[in-house]
Amino acid sequence: MVRHGGYGPCRRALKTLLLSIIGCPFTFNHHKLGYTQDFCMEILDSLTVELKASKDFTKLCSGLSILGYVSSYTEATNTRAFSQLLSFLGHRYPKIRKAAADQVYLVLLQNGNLIPEDNMERALEVISDTCWDGDVEEARSKRLQLCEMAGLDTSAYQNTNAKDKRKDAQRRAALDDENKSYSSLVGFSGF
């Protein structure tokens, strides 16, 4: 078995680099700030590709941390990063949903501009009161509520839910067909 152990130190270094750049935005002049925003946009593009359909828990958690850093930063990138972070609230893995909820909570405490002030208390309540490592459908409905509170487009999430329901229906139909075939085989054999 070949193990690719070199990615962990790279992720830790990237998190440290991002924290040093994004954690202290007041140290940059306007020229460097523009460069940092470009860098953050490229990081978001890379994260979109790297985290899509990933099953690596460590990679996903590191990506969530980076999305949290970027969400706390500047206006040009924080809405996109926050939207990506919210998408993980409906992830298939309960631990990833929980880690994403923790990041969303921290981001909202640090950056009050992502959700209008009149919705902020309700959003923090939804995040803290929801059992994110429980039922995925409940988590997805709460994610939709948060997206609406933030004024984000929810159509992408609703399409995802419809696709998931179609896939589940197809799986159930295939399983029922397989069970019927097995039942007929057992009946034919005389058992």
Strand segments (E) across 22-111? none
Selected residue with higher pLDDT from 30 and 163: 163
Which tens digits make up the pLDDT trace of 120-131? 999 999 999 999
Binned at pLDDT 50, 70 and 90, residue 1 comes out as very low
Q: What is the pTM of this model?
A: 0.67
pLDDT value of position 125: 95
Q: pLDDT averaged over the chain?
A: 76
Once rounded to an integer, what is the mean pLDDT over residues 10-39? 54
Provide mean pLDDT across the span 151-155.
83
Length of the chain: 191
Q: How confident is the model at residue 30 (pLDDT cuts 50, 70, 90)?
A: very low
Of 27, 8, 119, which Cα lies nearest the Cα of 73?
A: 27
Please enumerate in sequence order all residues whose Cβ is within 8 A of that of 64, keeping only pairs 6 or more positions apart, or say none: 85, 88, 96, 99, 100, 103
Give the single-character DSSP code of 89.
G
Q: Report pLDDT digits (tens) over 39-87.
A: 778 888 888 888 888 888 888 888 898 888 888 876 778 888 899 999 9
Confidence band (pLDDT; 50, 70, 90) for 4?
very low
Section 138-151 average pLDDT: 92
Mean pLDDT of 166-175: 63
